[in-house]
């Protein structure tokens, strides 16, 4: 409302009555915001304060109020009184915001709750804080004394009991005829690959359970770590198989859950058009990973 009134004033489209109404509504809104925030600071729990953070991060409303006051003074000087009262209400709200963030900082320090810090704050602390400040959180932490794995006595004892390394002997070259039980490494590798492919296919069919498409996100979260990591690696490493795994660019964060960070993954049974058996190369687009193979 405030920015719209400012724009209308600059375009000579707002009457004196409309501007006066906007000033009154703006003053009342900031007054209510300040009263509500002050009550939160005095009575709310730490969890309630955290839940309100996103409502008091944006300074756009304050900027809009300042721009409106400047435009009103230029266009309607006789509205100086209502404009001044709007400025007073904005000042009270800014004071309440300062008290709010002070309470957040105090409660966060008392609870040792680091979730309220942004990643940039961690980075700034690591780059610019002193060693004493970085070590302060561990002042009350007890550590075991160091126990070196290798001592001087261990080295001396190992030297005394060391034996010269035996010379390596080259095995005899195979003759014209090889034993019947000799394993061909190429055939063995192909058999292992086929077995692994079959195991992956069985796992994918177990995930799909007869369906054409399934969302694996809940299963991964329930599996916990490191089982979820193995499942993701298995789904995304498919080759020459009629399945499609899509990783969303969204990120689910659950600090207290079995898996703290995970992106939704959808598994689909697909039929690739084209020649039978012709593979379709994976398509990587941003954070979305597709493994589509026929």
Average pLDDT of the segment spanning 83-105: 82
pLDDT in tens, 170-196: 777 665 555 556 778 888 888 888 887
Please give the share of the chain, as a percent, with pLDDT higher than 70.
78
In the predicted model, is pLDDT for residue 290 greater than 60?
A: no
Average pLDDT of the segment spanning 100-112: 76
- Give pLDDT, residue 35: 87
In the predicted model, is pLDDT for residue 279 greater than 50?
A: no
- Give pLDDT, residue 67: 73
How many angstroms separate the CA atoms of 16 and 9, rounded? Answer: 9
- Give pLDDT, residue 176: 53
Among the residue ranges 52-61, 83-92, 151-160, the one predicted with the least confidence is 52-61
How many angstroms separate the CA atoms of 265 and 208, rounded? Answer: 13
In the predicted model, is pLDDT for residue 265 greater than 80?
A: yes
pLDDT in tens, 35-84: 888 888 888 887 777 777 766 665 677 777 777 777 777 777 777 787 78
**pLDDT band at residue 283 using 50, 70 and 90 as cut-offs:** very low
pLDDT in tens, 208-229: 788 888 888 888 888 888 888 8
Average pLDDT along the chain: 75
Among the residue ranges 4-18, 124-138, 207-221, 275-289, the one predicted with the least confidence is 275-289
pLDDT in tens, 124-144: 888 888 988 888 878 888 888
**pLDDT band at residue 277 using 50, 70 and 90 as cut-offs:** very low
The more confidently predicted of residues 34 and 238 is: 34
Among the residue ranges 87-101, 121-135, 174-188, 270-284, the one predicted with the least confidence is 270-284
Average pLDDT of the segment spanning 80-101: 82
- Give pLDDT, residue 100: 81
How many angstroms separate the CA atoms of 52 and 58, rounded? Answer: 12
Q: How far is CA 14 from CA 3, 22, 228, in A?
A: 12, 10, 60
- Give pLDDT, residue 202: 81
In the predicted model, is pLDDT for residue 11 greater than 80?
A: no
Average pLDDT of the segment spanning 145-162: 79
Chain mean position to CA 74? 47
């Amino acid at each position: 409302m405030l920015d719209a009134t400012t724009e209308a004033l600059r375009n000579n489209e707002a009457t004196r009555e409309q501007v006066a109404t906007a000033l009154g509504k703006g003053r009342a809104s900031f007054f209510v915001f300040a009263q509500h925030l002050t009550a939160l600071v005095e009575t709310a729990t730490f969890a309630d304060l955290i839940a309100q953070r996103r409502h008091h991060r944006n300074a756009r409303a304050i900027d809009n109020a300042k721009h409106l006051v400047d435009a009103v003074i230029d266009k309607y000087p006789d509205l100086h009184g209502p404009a001044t009262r709007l400025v007073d209400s904005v000042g009270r709200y800014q004071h309440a915001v300062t008290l709010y963030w002070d309470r957040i900082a105090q409660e966060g320090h008392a609870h040792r709750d680091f979730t309220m810090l942004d990643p940039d704050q961690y980075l700034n602390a690591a780059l610019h804080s002193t060693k004493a400040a970085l070590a302060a959180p561990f002042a009350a932490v007890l550590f075991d004394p160091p126990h070196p794995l290798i001592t001087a006595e261990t080295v001396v004892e190992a030297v005394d009991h060391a034996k010269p390394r035996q010379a390596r002997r080259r095995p005899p070259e195979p003759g014209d005829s090889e034993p019947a039980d000799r394993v061909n490494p190429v055939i063995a590798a192909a058999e292992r690959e086929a077995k692994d492919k079959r195991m992956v296919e069985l796992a994918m069919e177990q995930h799909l359970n007869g369906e054409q498409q399934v969302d694996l996100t809940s299963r991964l979260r329930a599996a916990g770590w490191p089982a979820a990591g193995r499942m993701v690696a298995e789904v995304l490493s498919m080759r020459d198989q009629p399945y499609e795994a899509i990783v969303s660019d969204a990120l689910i964060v659950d600090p207290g859950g079995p898996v703290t960070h995970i992106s939704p993954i959808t598994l689909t049974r697909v039929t690739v058009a084209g020649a039978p058996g012709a593979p379709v190369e994976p398509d990587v687009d941003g954070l979305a990973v597709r493994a589509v193979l026929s």
